[in-house]
Amino acid sequence: MPLAELERLRRKVEAGDVLSDAELDALRAEAAQRPGATLRLTVAHALVNADAEREALPLMQALRRDFPEDLQVRLGLARALLGLERHRDAEVELRDALVLSPGDPEALKVLAVLALRQGEAARARAYVAEAVARDPFDAEAKLLRAELESADLPPVPQPEAQVLRPEFTAALSAALGRAGVGFRRQGRDLLVKLASGGVGRVDVGSLYAAYHADPGAQGLTAHVEALVARLGGLSSGVGPSGVALDTLRPVLRPAGFVAGTQGSLFRPGPEGLEIYYVLEDAEFVRYLPASALGSPGLTLEAVDAAAWRNLDAHPADVRPVVIDRGEVRLAEAFSGLWAVTGGDGLDGARLLTKAQRRWIDAATGGGRLRVNLGQREVALLCRDSDAASVRALTELGHASDGVPGLYLLEGDSLRLA
């Protein structure tokens, strides 16, 4: 590609414009042939410009792995995370950017906006003041400072006083009953009869946490009624035209796991585990019912192949972590422990995909690893030869809905240790 054309595309992306498919393909091809982070980062930003943050995120995460000291990579990753409304993760990346470049105005301005969204006016003003001090001619920072100084910021919305989890669960159960939505409790979950048949599994703890994180102006009763309206309208994903295979993902569950009274589709997995199939959904877990195999031409083999293919296309970042008083937290440096950080409940299954194993090998150096699948939302790893880290994973144990014991991951094999 001529340099003039390459520069035109780069400036177009920098301006926030959306590239045509042909332009994006040309930019991808050029980025694949050139070393360094610049063009790969430009491709990722082009995807964000086109509202394709889900596609951009793994590119940004790969860039952070390959270029951990690159400030622009950190800022780009924060941008993709913000587009996916993963504000806390974005804030972590922005703070890392400030470690690389103390006082960076771009990171400070975005942190100020995040603080403002959370109603933390004092923190937002402090970030903006530092940005202006660093660059007195930054028009964007000065405008933000003026808005903060003139704004009458509302207080942060607070949930109703003393709404505890048992009260939340009782209110949700009552609202389901009033709406005629069939359900039953199973451990910390609710099994909900879906509108189109089949059963969906709902993590009450996650719903309760979401209520406290963003209760809005609704009271508890209004909140759970709105939630039930969404639950009652969910589909099992099996319609007249069959199953949308591109929405399927595999999940690992302990042997003997029961997904619902009507039966969910599964097959035996690695030792002590079973593989179930869920439909991609940002809020609710919906297991594919075994009755889906009644659709024309749909087989367990076809479902399984599609689910693993879809998951292989979306590996998650592998980050160092520490275990602090039973809580898993991101670490700032090498700790001997790592986590696959997709955070969508699929990280255990990701261990069995080729793309994820490449990311794991790059982070850990490869070789035989110990795995803790005891926390459903995260897969934890350490080197099998690291006795102290193996002990830490053993002592962490497992949650009530997690997988007990430790596993060995070696090549394509995942088996009980």
Each residue's pLDDT tens digit, 219-230: 788 888 888 777
**Confidence label for 358 from pLDDT (cuts 50, 70 and 90):** very high
User: Domains plus CATH for the chain?
Assistant: 3-150 (1.25.40.10), 165-312 (no CATH), 318-416 (no CATH)
Please tell me the predicted confidence (pLDDT) of residue 124.
82
Instruction: Give residue 126's pLDDT.
Output: 84
> Which residues face 366 on adjacent strands?
none
Q: Which residue has the higher pLDDT, 289 or 80?
A: 80
Question: Are the C-beta atoms of 316 and 327 separated by less than 8 Å?
Answer: no
Tens digit of each residue's pLDDT (9 = 90 or more) over 364-402: 998 999 999 998 778 999 999 999 999 999 999 887 768
Residue 240 has pLDDT above 50, yes or no: no
Please tell me the distance from the alpha carbon of residue 3 to that of residue 247, in angstroms, as a whole number. Answer: 40
* CB atoms inside a 10 Å sphere around CB 175: 22
The pLDDT tens digits for 305-334 are 999 999 999 999 999 999 887 888 888 788
pLDDT > 90 in the chain, percent: 23
Higher pLDDT, 268 or 120: 268
Of 81-90, 316-325, 334-343, give the lowest mean pLDDT range.
Answer: 81-90
Show the beta-strand stretches assigned E in 255-317.
266-268, 273-279, 285-287
Q: What is the rounded distance in angstroms from the CA atom of residue 81 to the CA atom of residue 90? A: 5
pLDDT value for 196: 56
- State the average pLDDT over residues 138-145: 77
At residue 345, the pLDDT reads 81
pLDDT for 261: 41
Q: pLDDT value at position 150?
A: 62
pLDDT in the model for residue 234 = 60
Residue 174 has pLDDT above 60, yes or no: yes
Which residues, other chains included, contact 15 with Cβ-Cβ below 8 Å and sequence gap of 6+?
none
| Closest listed residue to residue 224, CA positions, set 186, 262, 190, 188 | 190
- Reported as a pLDDT band with limits 50, 70 and 90, residue 342 is confident
Tokens 């964007």 locate to 140
Over residues 252-272, mean pLDDT: 78
Tokens of 108: 């400070």
Whole-angstrom Cα distance, residue 141 to residue 138?
A: 5
Residues 6+ positions from 302 with CB-CB distance below 8 Å: 245
Average pLDDT on 155-181 reads 69
Q: What is the pLDDT of residue 216?
A: 54
